[in-house]
C-alpha cells in the first residue's frame, strides 16, 4: 500500500517539499533545544516512537505537516476573547480572519448553517452546547450568582441549588459501559452534576441500540436534552430516529460526533446516519477521524447560534488562535476528494480488522463493526482490559482499555480493548495489513497470563511469554517500514 493521499501530498509530493518540511522542523527543534534540550529530545523521541509502533487508539491520528506547522506561530500570542467582530481586546483583525475561515470550512464541509471554531477540546465543545441549550430554553433566576463561583468551589449543596435554579433539568445520554462518553451525564463529570441525569444502554444480548426502549425511557424521563453519539459503540446510529424521539418528548437533540466526524465529513455516513441535519446542536473534536489539531467544534441550527456564539466568555477562556488556524487548514484538507477516499478506507479497514479477530476466535462486542471502532472482549483470554492493554504496549501495539456492557471489572480495569483504524489507515494500511494486525494482537493475548489474584491491584498484573514482544515487534516493523510515517521528514 502507498501512504495516504492527504499525508503524502502534504508531506512528500516530491523531494523539494520533503526537504522544506525537514528544514522547518530541524530549525524549530534547534531553537527549542537552545532553551530546553529535554523538550526537544522528547519531541524527537515521540516521532520515533510513533513511527515504530502500531497506533490503534481510536481517538488518535496523524495530522499533516501543514496542520502541525500552522500551530507553531505567533497567532498563539494574541488574546481574542469574544467572537468575530466583537472582541474584548483590540487588534484582533487577523484572528477574525482565521476564525472566519475555520467556521466557513466547517459549515461547508458538514452542511451546517452555523459553526463555532473556538472550543479547545471536545469536552469544551460539549460544555458550550449544554450551556447554550440551557440559555436558550431555560430562565433561571439567581443563576448568575452561582455561575460566578469557580467550578471547583461549588459544593454538593451548590450543585443541588444550581440544578434547582435550572428547573432540575434532565439529560438522557448513552451509558459509559454501553459506549457513551463521560460528558454524556457520567456523575463524576460536570455534565452529571449540572443535570438530573439518566442513561440509556444497549440490548444485553446483541449490544445494539434498542430504539424502542430508548423511546420508552425518553417518554418516562422527559429530558430537556437527549444526547446521541458515542465513544466506544462499534455501530452506526440512526439519527433520524433519535430526532423523532426528541421531538416527541420536547427534548433538544444534541449529538456528540467527536469519534466519527471524519466519516461524516468523508460522506461514509449519509442520510439518517449523518447527525448534522437532525441534531439541534452537534459537537465534535477536530482530531480523531477528522485528522486535524486537538480541538473542538460546535455546529448548530439557527435558533441556538446566538447562545453558542457566547461560548467565550460563558464557558471558554481566550480562543487558541493558532489552533483555530490549524483547524482551518485541516478542514480545508477534509474538503478534498482524497479525504472521502480515506474515510471509506477507514471504515473498510475496520471491517477487515473485525473479521481478522473473528476468524481467530476472538469475541467482539456487537459481533463486529460498521464504523471505525472494534471493541474486543478480552475476558475470553482470561485477562482484564488493563492487563491486555499493557501486554500489547510491551509488544509495540498501542491501544486503550475500555469498558464493555455490564463490565464486571468496572471502568478502571475494564474487560475490553478498543481499537480504531484511522491512524494506520493514514499510514496506508489496507485489508491485508489489518488482518495481520488482528493476528499479532491475538498472538500477544494468547501469550499473556494474568496473576493468580482476581481483585485489587493484581487485576493489572500479568506476564508475557518470553520472546513474544520481540516477535511481534519484528513482524510489525515490516508493515511499518512499508508504510512510513511522514515520509521524507528527517530530524
Where residue 370 sits, what CATH number does that domain have? Answer: 3.90.1150.10
Whether 182 is in a domain gets the answer: yes
Q: Respond yes or no: is residue 256 known to be catalytic.
A: yes
Q: How confident is the model at residue 153 (pLDDT cuts 50, 70, 90)?
A: low
Q: Does 7 have pLDDT greater than 60?
A: no
Q: Does 356 have pLDDT greater than 50?
A: yes
Whether 322 and 346 map to the same domain: the answer is no
- Contacts for 245 with CB less than 8 Å, ≥ 6 apart: 211, 214, 215, 218, 226, 251
User: Domain residues for 317?
Assistant: 75-138+169-334
Whether 234 and 85 map to the same domain: the answer is yes
Grouping H, G, I as helix, E, B as strand and the rest as coil, residue 177 is: coil
pLDDT of amino acid 184:
80
289-317: pLDDT as tens digits: 999 999 999 999 999 999 999 898 888 88
Q: Respond yes or no: is residue 327 known to be catalytic.
A: no
pLDDT of amino acid 192:
75
Which of 235, 288, 386, 427 is the catalytic position?
Answer: 288
What is the average pLDDT across 311-340?
94
Whether 16 is in a domain gets the answer: no
Whether 267 is in a domain gets the answer: yes
Which of 252, 285, 369, 399 is the catalytic position?
Answer: 285
Q: Does 15 have pLDDT greater than 50?
A: no
Q: Does 337 have pLDDT greater than 70?
A: yes
Whether 123 is in a domain gets the answer: yes
pLDDT of amino acid 9:
42
Q: Respond yes or no: is residue 294 known to be catalytic.
A: yes
Which of 4, 99, 177, 256 is the catalytic position?
Answer: 256
Residue that terminates a domain, selected from 334, 367, 388: 334
What is the average pLDDT across 216-237?
95
Contact 370, 236 (CB under 8 A): yes
Say if strands 296-300 and 281-285 run parallel, antiparallel, or are unpaired.
Answer: antiparallel
Whether 301 and 390 map to the same domain: the answer is no
Q: Respond yes or no: is residue 79 known to be catalytic.
A: yes
pLDDT of amino acid 2:
45
362-372: pLDDT as tens digits: 999 999 999 99
Q: Does 151 have pLDDT greater than 60?
A: no
Contact 305, 281 (CB under 8 A): no
Is this structure's pTM higher than 0.85? yes
Whether 349 and 419 map to the same domain: the answer is yes
Which of 33, 51, 52, 79 is the catalytic position?
Answer: 79
What is the average pLDDT across 196-215?
93
Whether 131 and 260 map to the same domain: the answer is yes
pLDDT of amino acid 1:
45
- Contacts for 218 with CB less than 8 Å, ≥ 6 apart: 172, 226, 245, 246, 248, 249, 251
Q: What is the mean pLDDT of the chain?
A: 90
Whether 257 is in a domain gets the answer: yes
Whether 473 and 439 map to the same domain: the answer is yes
The DSSP code for 268 is: S
What is the average pLDDT across 108-136?
94
Q: Respond yes or no: is residue 288 known to be catalytic.
A: yes
40-86: pLDDT as tens digits: 999 999 999 999 999 999 999 999 999 999 999 999 999 999 999 99
Whether 58 is in a domain gets the answer: no
Which of 81, 104, 210, 435 is the catalytic position?
Answer: 81
- Alpha-carbon span 189 to 158, nearest angstrom: 15
Whether 30 is in a domain gets the answer: no
Whether 341 and 321 map to the same domain: the answer is no
Q: How many CA atoms lie within 13 A of 192 on its CB side?
A: 15
pLDDT of amino acid 41:
96
Residue that terminates a domain, selected from 285, 307, 334: 334
Whether 349 and 324 map to the same domain: the answer is no
Whether 460 and 372 map to the same domain: the answer is yes
Q: How many domains does the chain have?
A: 2
What nine digits make up the cell of 283? 459537537
CATH number of the domain that residue 231 is part of: 3.40.640.10
Whether 106 and 244 map to the same domain: the answer is yes
Whether 315 is in a domain gets the answer: yes
Whether 206 and 98 map to the same domain: the answer is yes
- Alpha-carbon span 330 to 339, nearest angstrom: 11
Which of 78, 137, 163, 294 is the catalytic position?
Answer: 294
Whether 403 and 314 map to the same domain: the answer is no
Residue that terminates a domain, selected from 299, 334, 369: 334
Select the more confidently predicted residue: 164 or 361.
361
What is the average pLDDT across 393-418?
94
Amino acid at each position: 500500500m502507498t501512504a495516504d493521499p492527504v499525508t503524502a501530498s502534504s508531506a512528500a509530493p516530491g523531494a523539494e517539499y520533503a526537504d522544506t518540511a525537514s528544514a522547518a522542523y530541524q530549525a524549530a527543534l534547534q531553537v527549542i533545544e537552545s532553551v530546553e534540550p529535554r523538550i526537544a529530545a522528547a519531541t524527537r523521541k515521540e516521532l520515533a516512537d510513533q513511527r515504530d509502533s502500531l497506533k490503534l487508539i481510536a481517538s488518535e491520528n496523524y495530522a499533516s505537516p501543514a496542520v502541525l506547522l500552522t500551530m507553531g506561530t505567533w497567532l498563539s500570542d494574541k488574546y481574542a476573547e469574544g467572537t468575530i467582530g466583537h472582541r474584548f481586546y483590540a487588534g484582533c483583525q487577523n484572528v477574525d480572519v482565521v476564525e472566519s475561515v475555520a467556521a466557513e470550512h466547517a459549515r461547508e464541509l458538514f452542511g451546517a448553517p452555523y459553526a463555532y471554531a473556538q472550543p479547545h477540546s471536545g469536552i469544551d465543545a460539549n460544555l458550550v452546547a449544554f450551556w447554550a441549550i440551557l440559555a436558550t430554553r431555560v430562565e433561571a433566576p439567581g443563576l448568575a450568582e452561582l455561575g460566578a463561583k469557580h467550578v471547583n468551589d461549588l459544593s454538593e449543596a451548590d450543585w443541588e441549588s444550581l440544578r434547582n435554579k435550572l428547573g432540575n433539568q434532565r439529560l438522557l445520554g448513552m451509558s459509559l459501559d454501553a459506549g457513551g462518553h463521560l460528558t454524556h451525564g457520567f456523575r463524576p463529570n460536570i455534565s452529571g452534576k449540572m443535570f438530573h441525569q439518566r442513561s440509556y444502554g444497549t440490548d444485553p444480548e446483541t449490544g445494539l441500540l434498542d430504539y424502542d426502549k430508548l423511546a420508552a425511557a425518553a417518554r418516562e424521563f422527559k429530558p430537556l436534552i437527549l444526547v446521541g453519539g458515542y465513544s466506544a459503540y462499534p455501530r452506526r446510529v440512526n439519527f433520524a430516529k433519535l430526532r423523532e424521539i426528541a421531538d416527541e418528548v420536547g427534548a433538544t437533540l444534541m449529538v456528540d460526533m467527536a469519534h466519527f466526524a471524519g466519516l461524516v465529513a468523508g460522506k461514509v455516513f449519509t442520510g439518517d446516519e449523518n447527525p448534522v441535519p437532525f441534531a439541534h446542536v452537534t459537537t465534535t473534536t477536530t482530531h480523531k477521524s477528522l485528522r486535524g489539531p486537538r480541538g473542538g467544534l460546535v455546529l448548530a441550527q439557527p435558533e441556538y447560534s446566538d447562545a453558542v456564539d457566547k461560548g467565550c466568555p460563558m464557558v471558554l477562556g481566550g480562543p487558541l488562535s493558532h489552533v483555530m488556524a490549524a483547524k482551518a487548514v485541516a478542514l480545508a484538507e477534509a474538503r478534498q476528494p482524497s479525504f472521502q477516499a480515506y474515510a471509506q478506507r477507514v471504515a473498510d479497514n475496520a471491517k477487515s480488522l473485525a473479521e481478522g479477530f473473528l476468524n481467530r476466535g476472538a469475541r467482539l462486542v456487537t459481533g463486529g463493526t460498521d464504523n471505525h471502532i472494534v471493541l474486543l472482549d478480552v475476558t475470553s483470554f482470561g485477562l482484564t482490559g488493563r492487563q491486555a492493554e499493557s501486554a500489547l504496549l510491551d509488544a509495540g501495539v498501542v491501544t486503550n482499555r475500555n469498558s464493555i456492557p455490564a463490565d464486571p471489572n468496572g471502568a478502571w480495569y475494564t474487560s475490553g480493548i478498543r481499537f480504531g483504524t484511522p491512524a494506520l489507515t493514514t499510514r496506508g494500511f489496507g485489508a491485508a495489513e489489518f488482518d495481520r494486525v488482528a493476528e499479532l494482537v491475538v498472538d500477544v493475548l494468547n501469550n499473556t497470563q494474568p496473576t493468580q489474584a482476581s481483585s485489587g491491584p493484581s487485576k493489572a498484573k500479568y506476564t508475557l511469554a518470553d520472546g513474544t514482544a520481540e516477535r511481534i515487534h519484528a513482524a510489525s516493523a515490516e508493515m511499518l517500514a512499508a508504510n512510513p510515517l511522514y515520509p521524507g521528514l528527517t530530524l
